[in-house]
Amino acid sequence: MSNTPMTPGVVPQRLSRTDYADGFSDMHPPLDAHEALVAADRCYFCYDAPCVTACPTAIDIPLFIRQIQTGKPGDAAKTIFDQNILGGMCARVCPTETLCEEACVRETAEGKPVEIGRLQRFATDTALVTGVHPYQRAEPTGFRVGIVGAGPAGLACAHRLAMKGHDVTIYDARPKPGGLNEYGIAAYKTVGDFAMAEVDWLMEIGGITLVSDTALGRDVTLTELRDDFDAVFLGVGLGGVNALRAPGEDFPYVQDAVDFIADLRQAEDKAQVPVGRNVVVIGGGMTAVDAAVQSRLLGAETVTIVYRRGRDRMGASPYEQDHATRHGVRIVTGAQPLRVIGTDTAEAVEFAYTEETPEGLRPSAQTFQIAADQVFKAIGQTLAAAPEDLTLDGAKIAVTGMGRTSAAGVWAGGDCASGGDDLTVTAVAEGRDAAEDIHVTLIGASEIAAE
Amino acid sequence: MADLTSDFAGIKSPNPFWLASAPPTDKEYNVRRAFEAGWGGVVWKTLGSEGPPVVNVNGPRYGAVYGADRRLLGLNNIELITDRPLEVNLREIKAVKRDYPDRAMVVSIMVPCEEEAWRAILPMVEETGADGIELNFGCPHGMSERGMGSAVGQVPEYIEMVTRWCKQFTRMPVIVKLTPNITDIRKPAEAAAKGGADAVSLINTINSITSVDLDTLSPEPSIDGKGSHGGYCGPAVKPIALSMVSEIARAPETAHMPISGIGGITTWRDAAEFLVLGAGNVQICTAAMTYGFRIVEEMKAGLRSWMDEKGYDSVAAVSGRAVPNVTDWQYLNLNYVTKARISQADCIQCGRCYAACEDTSHQAIAMSPDRVFTVIDEECVACNLCVNVCPVENCITMEEMPVGAIDPRSGDRVDDAYANWTTHPNNPAALKAAE
């Protein structure tokens, strides 16, 4: 520990070894077998259960919990994977407090929902450690599907297609597969290199070829893919980042929060990741919270999230907001950045309080400054480059039905596609559903051809 | 404040809560702890004849059935009568009774069905200063294979004979403990009455296998891969016991006999239910074995405050109060019409009532797209299943339809006149009587 939280500038090693180990340990430690039974006993096995309705992938939650109750966590895992092949990651990162657990009738009854997320993790972890992949491929169909993006949408799509006997090739711009599971999620939500292990396990179905370091538009074009494959699925995510559009944005350590989160995830030794003494995070979503909390865990003395609207409008759920404040993060709302102040490096950020006007949100004359030697921008991601020929819906690829784009034979899902929340679980659902639609389309076309 | 003192068949105790004959009453150490904890009396674990005592298995003796959160709902055992020498038990009984003269000390006995065996043991028990004896005609496992326990309790003639011997050979009150492993509980109770018994106690445990180990295929509790049926007790058996107690309490031949109620009593409420259905006192075992002796505090306080609320000043005033309300099905009022009502304020929208009614009953609950559940009176037969499966207490209730209202299910006007099956036009016997 060569530095302390008070050391000025952006430096590594602000804390002791133990502090790093504690800070980046599992955020929600797994349930042990006894805890899982106690938690499972609380499920009422509701009719047409609200938790299932609330789950974007519609996992049969009462069934899998009943399977845990009856001593069959492996069967429970199969119930989960049938709907959500990335059920292990979703158990870790889903905002369950705004999905299944918010809908749980015991939340209504007692304000304490069944711990669905942790039970799901118990079941899926049990299955993953066996190392046995629970699905087998159907007879080969001879069809070939190209997928761009090895994130949750692409992986879910690939697995479902492979299961149905199609041959799949996934292209990904990054060196490792997993997309945001690997690069975008706070380290303490997925410890022990889980994302990579989950992808390896998923790939065991067979029939999926992964091509890394290959980006759409740079190394391969949509036209080429449409020529080479019988169908194409785009799960490219949102590679671009919104700019601050404020003076001082070019100072060193005025960074995109997503890059910081990715670098931190990939860092073998968290102690070597530099962090500012005073960190300001601009934005109000999960990315802002992940960047802010992890800055504190790296030893930043002060961390402030500044969001332009009220708390109720923040993308981060109240649970996530509490998570941030519990870690000593200050949340300032109703203020927007005017400029980053500094000479060679950032020293502070000047903000103006905002006010709602008929023309929209406007900065008021009231300003203030917050000291900052590191500034994270977490004000939303955008589609990096819209592939040629595709109709957009706002800033995203327009899709209808089960992920059909405006181009024949091209589907899209996940964050890059219109509709749905930008959640891992939503991406999985969209990838899976697109695969079903691709399958029906390919098989249907071949049957018509055969007649 | 209500008086909890009890006089059961002439046996006095400071409260009506006795520990039943079972492991908790097998030793002086346990019984002293029980009396210190406030129990009104004990029935000492069953003594056998003089000589080498019985032996127990050296593997597990109990098997269990659990509810949610591993709450023990049912327990079964394959333990035999005391496996300690008779003289040790007698010495301890005497010592404890001497130190706790105000507590009831009843001794359970099981010896072969021979007059000599009873003639031999009774004076020895009497010499301890015990207040009474309980004849164990109930245990369904082990001893029954040797012609004792439930093997006696299942033959009314034996019950009468042995009871008569006991009344002949001892001045102590005789309580006959009955086995539920019989078709009609009134028959052995009548036999006990004919033999001169001062009281009956029931129920003893029920023949049972609690579970099977699906790896070894051995019934539980497993002794080296094999299992034997044991005696089932605990909260799960309470309904069976309540019914049997009430049958004896309302049968003219046995109504006069004091009944010691036994079977799954876990709280003051359970105890009160046994008392009002005809029990003069209660005996408890499984609840004590599950939670320890301290539960008697809750039982005494709860019973007393309930009695105060209702204005009952003594246990005797409570005993049997509900017996007139136990009747035969044929006398139930068929003009009593109720409908289920769901309190929307209390409903947590789990839909279990809907699943139960729609899948397995009368399709009498409607579910709206936004999960509001309502009763369809045209279909509701008031079966109560929705009430029973609802996880929220008092969320669904059965409301009586007012006299004069039209039952939308039958189209009939609700009549205030009492009318039962015996006079119903669909009853062939009733029609015949009318001719």
Question: How large is the average pLDDT for residues A329-343?
Answer: 96
Question: Residues A70-83: pLDDT tens digits?
Answer: 999 999 999 999 99
Q: Chain centroid to CA A406: how far?
A: 26
From the CB of residue A9, how many other CB atoms can be counted at a distance below 10 Å?
13
Measured distance CA(A301)–CA(A279) in Å, rounded? 8
The reply to whether residue A47 touches residue B350, judged by beta carbons under 8 angstroms, is yes
Q: What pLDDT score does A447 carry?
A: 80
Residue B21 CB contacts under 8 Å (≥ 6 apart), including other chains: B43, B44, B45, B46, B108, B134, B136, B177, B283
- ipTM, two decimals, is 0.88
Measured distance CA(B305)–CA(A248) in Å, rounded? 76
Cα dist. B265→B250, B284, B312 in Å?
A: 21, 6, 21
Closest among A195, A348, A374, A373 to A291, alpha carbons compared: A374
Q: What pLDDT score does A33 carry?
A: 95
The reply to whether residue B349 touches residue A44, judged by beta carbons under 8 angstroms, is no
Closest chain A CA to residue B346 = A109
End-to-end Cα separation, chain A, in angstroms = 74
End-to-end Cα separation, chain B, in angstroms = 57
The pLDDT confidence band at residue A445, using thresholds 50, 70 and 90, is confident
Cα dist. B333→B327, B328, B338, B386, B428 in Å?
A: 11, 11, 12, 22, 18
CB nearest B69 (choices: A38, A44, A50): A38
- Same topology, domains A33-130 and A144-239+383-450? Answer is no
Asked if pLDDT for residue B293 goes beyond 60, the answer is yes
Question: How large is the average pLDDT for residues B31-56?
Answer: 97
Q: What pLDDT score does A1 carry?
A: 59
Q: Span A144-239+383-450: which CATH code?
A: 3.50.50.60
> Which residue, chain included where needed, has tokens 């102590």?
B172
- What DSSP assignment string belongs to A168-235? EEEE-SSSSS-THHHHTS-GGGS-TTHHHHHHHHHHTTS-EEEE-S--BTTTB-HHHHHHHSSEEEE-
Measured distance CA(A363)–CA(A356) in Å, rounded? 9
The reply to whether residue B351 touches residue A45, judged by beta carbons under 8 angstroms, is no
Residue A7 DSSP code: -
Q: Chain centroid to CA B104: how far?
A: 20
The answer to whether B304 and B4 are in contact (CB under 8 A) is: yes
The answer to whether A283 and A261 are in contact (CB under 8 A) is: no
Question: Residues A149-187: pLDDT tens digits?
Answer: 999 999 999 999 999 999 999 999 999 999 999 999 999
Angstroms from B353 CA to nearest CA on chain A: 9
Half-sphere exposure of A166 (CA within 13 A, CB side): 27
Does B211 lie at the interface with A, CB-CB under 8 angstroms? Answer: no
From the CB of residue B209, how many other CB atoms can be counted at a distance below 10 Å?
15
From the CB of residue A136, how many other CB atoms can be counted at a distance below 10 Å?
8
From the CB of residue A206, how many other CB atoms can be counted at a distance below 10 Å?
13
Chain B residues near residue A46 by CB distance under 8 angstroms:
349-352
Measured distance CA(A178)–CA(A254) in Å, rounded? 26
DSSP helix/strand/coil, B351: coil
Does A243 lie at the interface with B, CB-CB under 8 angstroms? Answer: no
Site from A37, A46, A66 to mutate, B interface, most B CB atoms within 10 angstroms: A46
The reply to whether residue B351 touches residue A106, judged by beta carbons under 8 angstroms, is no
Catalytic residue, candidates B139, B166, B233, B285: B139
Measured distance CA(A184)–CA(A265) in Å, rounded? 8
Domain parsing of chain A, residue ranges: 33-130, 144-239+383-450, 243-380
Closest chain B CA to residue A44 = B350
DSSP helix/strand/coil, A230: coil
Question: Residues A36-93: pLDDT tens digits?
Answer: 999 999 999 999 999 999 999 999 999 999 999 999 999 999 999 999 999 999 999 9
Residue A36 tokens, joined: 């899982």
- Which residue type is seen at A351? F
CA atoms A240, A243, A249, A250: torsion sign: positive
Question: Residues B353-409: pLDDT tens digits?
Answer: 999 999 999 999 999 999 999 999 999 999 999 999 999 999 999 999 999 999 999
Residue A81 tokens, joined: 């994977």
Q: Chain centroid to CA A28: how far?
A: 17
Closest chain A CA to residue B357 = A47
Q: Examine the residue annotation and report whether B139 is marked as an active-site residue of this protein.
A: yes
Residue A367 tokens, joined: 């300003």
- The total number of residues shown for chain A amounts to 451
DSSP helix/strand/coil, A39: helix
Does B196 lie at the interface with A, CB-CB under 8 angstroms? Answer: no
Site from A34, A37, A47 to mutate, B interface, most B CB atoms within 10 angstroms: A47
Angstroms from B367 CA to nearest CA on chain A: 10
Measured distance CA(B53)–CA(B83) in Å, rounded? 5
Does B137 lie at the interface with A, CB-CB under 8 angstroms? Answer: no
Angstroms from A43 CA to nearest CA on chain B: 10
The answer to whether B366 and B376 are in contact (CB under 8 A) is: yes
CB nearest B392 (choices: A47, A48, A109): A109
Pick the CATH number of A33-130 from 3.30.2420.10, 3.30.565.10, 1.20.1560.10, 1.10.1060.10: 1.10.1060.10
Residue A165 tokens, joined: 């006997």
Residue B388 CB contacts under 8 Å (≥ 6 apart), including other chains: none
Q: What pLDDT score does B141 carry?
A: 81
The answer to whether B179 and B138 are in contact (CB under 8 A) is: yes
Average pLDDT, chain B: 96
Strand pairing category for A392-393 and A396-397: antiparallel
Closest among B29, B74, B50, B95 to B240, alpha carbons compared: B74
Residue B370 CB contacts under 8 Å (≥ 6 apart), including other chains: none
Closest among B80, B92, B106 to B29, alpha carbons compared: B92
The pLDDT confidence band at residue B278, using thresholds 50, 70 and 90, is very high
> Which residue, chain included where needed, has tokens 């129920």?
B203
Chains A, B: CB contacts within 8 A come to 34
- Which residue type is seen at B176? V
Asked if pLDDT for residue A386 goes beyond 80, the answer is no
Asked if pLDDT for residue A390 goes beyond 70, the answer is yes
Q: Span A243-380: which CATH code?
A: 3.50.50.60
Residue A424 tokens, joined: 């891992």
